[in-house]
Amino acid sequence: MKRIPMLINGEWVGNDSNEWLPVFNPSNGELIAEIVKGQKEHVDEAVHAAQVAFESDEWKKVKPYERGQLLVRLAAHIRNNAEQWSKWECEDVGKPISQAKADVEAAARYFEFYGGAADKVMGDTIPIEEGILNATVLEPVGVTAHIVPWNYPLQITARSVAAAIATGNAVIVKSAEDTPLTTHAIAEWFAVSELPKGIFQHVTGLGADVGGPLAGHPGIHHITFTGSVNTGISVMKAAADNVVPVTLELGGKSPNIVFSDANEELALEGVVRAIIQNAGQTCSAGSRLLIEEKYKERFLHELTAKFNELTIGPGVDDKEIGPILNKKQFDQIINKIQDAKSAGKIIVGGETVTISGSEGGYYIQPTIIDGLDNTHALAKEEIFGPVLTVFTFETIEEAIELANSTDYGLVAGIWTRNIDVAHFVASKVKSGQVFINNYGAAGGVQMPFGGYKKSGIGREKGFIALRNYTQVKNIAVKFSI
């Protein structure tokens, strides 16, 4: 078992603490680590250290391309240790090892991508009138807070931290109490890097003890949060008290819209993978199937067969579906499935699974639910498990109406050979990302990611995310002879 201290001002903090929180392997319930149960005073220390580091001459002298080179070196370090980092992510989250390996490569790509962008964050010159040179300069916002969820801890830490450091900010990460291992591994690398102390810090603990004080701290200048809608609202309210901007990536109830002329093999594979990745514990999971009425019987028959073939087991065994994170999440999913049994029809799955040798893990059969009314809670609320709900449409207009019928708008998939239909539906769906005849595009480090409506505010990934961590200064110079 590993004890994980916090990294504050370049020092490992908390080894003398009497309060530790357990970290379990979701695959079997084994205790694998303990983290420091951080408190508000740790947040205060971290923010103060970040402020000092950000304002230091040492940090100001680090050139943008040098920040970029440092991030590229971190990417190489992650790749060089990919096997170990994948093992940590697999143990921490419970996801299949192949998915953990994909997360490790994605994290490396984030540091590489934003490392390459560090010296390319440029302003503009704006024509005003003769004798005035007007220019905009993009400056770092200052101290940025990054509150990371438990489902993709390595990827989500990397994507925002890389952009923030590339643009010259000081960073404080609060990892999820359930999944701290790979964020700690990033902290270990930064602890021995040539960066000034306080530029990267990692605090641990419960949301109420650490996350809340971090979100509401007057010394924070931007907050990036990924998680539930309710917690995101609380983060936004705390930030509002200090007039601090936020980037929120929240829930989803994303549709896969399948027309009768779709490439069946591609559509089936896309629909399955969109709901089973990380056992459905993904904000962008394709958790709704909207199927053209005349195609429903055939498509559902083939889809059910594929669901019945899916394998379930511990992450290390690399089955197609791993465990649910913990008992709390597990119970919530099971309760929602039980509700569906009275309001709709379970086509396949819907039962718990016991894995020999991993009885301490929480496993659920991949589930398809049909027959729900579109106004039912399960048609609109995020289940966050391997559960797919099915609805039908007869016209393009009905498909669009169904797609837009929830409070979310994170991702949508459209499956059709008709390019006119595909583009028309894409133009009408209220969603931050729309995929045509694919779903997810291999993660797409370069593609802006974020949602409409209650799926969030702002965008992460891609060049546009760099703007989260910069502020615009306009400089007008009058000259004459």
Integer Cα distance of 57 and 309 in angstroms? 60
Closest among 76, 97, 72, 75 to 86, alpha carbons compared: 97
The tokens for 184 are 């700690």
Could you list the beta-strand ranges (E) of 357-469: 363-364, 367-370, 387-393, 408-409, 411-415, 433-436, 452-453, 456-457
Query: At residue 290, does pLDDT exceed 80?
Result: yes
Amino acid in position 69: Q
> Looking at the predicted structure, is the pLDDT value of residue 328 above 80?
yes
Alpha helices in 277-372 (DSSP H): 296-309, 327-343
Neighbouring residues of 375: CB distance < 8 A, sequence distance ≥ 6: none
Rounded mean pLDDT of 440-449? Answer: 84
Distance CA 279, CA 219 (A): 38
In the predicted structure, residue 443 carries a pLDDT above the cut 80: no
Evaluate if residue 165 carries a pLDDT over 90: yes
**pLDDT at residue 442 greater than cutoff 70:** no
Name, in order, each residue with C-beta under 8 angstroms of 310's C-beta and a sequence gap of 6 or more. 272, 276, 320, 321, 366
Q: How far apart are CA 50 and CA 8, in angstroms?
A: 9
Is residue 292 flagged as an active site residue? Answer: no
CA gap 225, 239 in Å, rounded: 11
Give the chain's largest Cα–Cα span: 86
Taking only the tens place, the pLDDT of each residue in 64-83 is: 999 999 999 999 999 999 99
Q: Convert 444-458 to b/e letters by CB count within 10 Å (16 or more is b).
A: ebebebbbebbbbbb
Coarse DSSP helix, strand, coil percentages of the chain, rounded to the nearest 5 percent: 45, 25, 35
Question: Quick one: DSSP state of residue 196?
Answer: P
**Annotated catalytic residue, options 45, 91, 105, 249:** 249
Cα 371–chain centre separation: 31
Task: Give residue-wise pLDDT tens across range 184-241.
Answer: 999 999 999 999 999 999 999 999 999 999 999 999 999 999 999 999 999 999 999 9
CA nearest neighbour of 176 among 244, 99, 92, 84: 92
Mean pLDDT across the chain: 97
pLDDT, tens digit, 9 for 90 and up, residues 256-283? 999 999 999 999 999 999 999 999 999 9
What pLDDT score was predicted for residue 9? 98
Average pLDDT over residues 167-190: 98
Give the pLDDT mean for 85-106. 98
- What is d(CA 141, CA 386) in angstroms, rounded to the nearest whole number? 39
7: three-class secondary structure by DSSP: strand
Among 92, 121, 132, CA closest to 4: 92
Give me the sign of the Cα torsion angle 375, 402, 444, 166: negative
To the nearest 10°, report the CA torsion of 71, 73, 77, 82.
60
Domain architecture of the chain: domains with CATH: 2-250+458-475 (3.40.605.10), 255-443 (3.40.309.10)
Q: Is 413 helix (H, G, I), strand (E, B) or coil?
A: strand
Asked whether residue 17 carries a pLDDT value surpassing 90, the answer given is no
> Is the Cβ–Cβ distance between 432 and 320 less than 8 Å?
no
User: What pLDDT, on a 0 to 100 scale, did the predictor assign at position 154?
Assistant: 98
Cβ neighbours of residue 105 under 8 Å, at least 6 residues apart? 79, 82
Q: Please state, in angstroms and rounded to a whole number, the distance separating the CA atoms of residues 14 and 1.
A: 16
CA dihedral sign of residues 442, 443, 449, 452: positive
Cα dihedral sign, 209-53-248-274: negative
- Residue in 92, 199, 222 with CA at minimum distance from that of residue 147: 222
Q: Look at residues 293, 280, 473 and name the one whose alpha carbon lies nearest to residue 387.
A: 280
- Are the C-beta atoms of 21 and 177 separated by less than 8 Å? yes
Query: How far is 272 from 285, CA to CA, in rounded Å?
Result: 10
Q: What is the mean pLDDT of residues 311-339?
A: 97
